[in-house]
Structure 1
């Protein structure tokens, strides 16, 4: 997960106005009606109409797992508009544990409650996500550290301050930079901080979106660091200046926001720059793990 800093609210609003000029006006009317009714209604504009805005801002990647998705045409089917804070009734996460099984965390993750209906048409509450992240995992969950959820009508900044959400919102700068919370050891996601609030946020986010148990993400990350390793080695060993410069540009591409699994690539690149031997050992372990799991019907955590 990375931050898309260009997706500030003003910029998103401008892009939405260019995409569907009447969308925000209709959304404002629907929001006023819901404020009176104190519940979500489907009377507003379709958020699918503004989906392309988020797809482009996110470089056609899932906002949560960074899996590359289809482009402008097919992406409208493959990608969902994700309501970061659910508009309908909230379910407690994690789901209730079987009798006798201990709670997964030593800290609270928030209770069930009414949804954030007043944010149903709030542009800073949207993102584009893959269906495994959105439909399967995000659903109507929104874990928070606070014991109490925010009051109806509160804006996102106020909600963030009071609720202390455990999932970071990657668009714009209203929340922490996800890369300050989560890094990678090879293809394995892990918290940056050893303890404290940032550690808990990273831990929950990794578990919530299954970042360390999904085979498609292992495959994406392994391809990413394998390709990056080859490029970095070529830069070190080639005697052809033109080829070296071309490869350096490809490395920059692999580290850019637009690249698949950019956060994993950046973590591996930093390791390579500080300790090439450790980077090679990490690459070998990642390859060994991936080869052992490729084709397996029983996904296991690589950690």
Structure 2
């Protein structure tokens, strides 16, 4: 879907921003770019969208080099979400979301129908369509920004720290919305963040960058437990491990009951949808080695103890 072949980028009279970088992004992947400030994350995104041309190397989008794409057609085929959202204050939410369709001269009835689909997709109701940006909270504006990026049904969505200005509670909610949208639509997403927990939560592939080079690339299990790069291991560190415990669900490590009488007397329990860290905390708080696990119906279906963690496949 997206290929970087030995790409370099250097601004005039400055040090290289991207250095001989090669990267393959397959269709349907959720790729998260993470690294310290100035490592080249946003530059990579802008090069994918044709906003910046590389000094050397090739960028290939859907089998065609960036140079062979009409810049306007390329931008219309890629959704772009940024931290500042950039909604037009004088347009209603419906017209903001339909703006990419205006550029394609889509019929009014189709634009209205698409706006209704999108407002539900991002977790808002149709009453928001007639509102204006100044009537929305920061989190609601980000939802509208995501909807606008999806309006023309692009195969590729680029997100440049879209949740960076959102408070922690709404950020977690919006992360869940992004995962739901990704699983529903199967788009290819490239997401820039500086937040380690966000990267581990969202990405099917995580790319750790430093000074314009790829330090590590892999799944969250690879990045947290099998890092081959000293820089990536130091950068992700214990926060990556704690993030992992806060994201992976207990249902992935449930130990089935063995039928002992002691198991029938278990009174403490957690839910199978709770993260691992909840199970660990409950055991430590109560000075026990084992607690029960209930399903969504409240039925006791197994147990959790620290030994269950060995069931994870790293």
State if a TM-score over 0.5 links the two structures: no
Greater fraction of residues in strand: 2
Looking at CA atoms only, which structure, 1 or 2, has the larger radius of gyration? 2
**TM-score for the superposition, normalised by structure 1:** 0.29
**TM-score for the superposition, normalised by structure 2:** 0.28
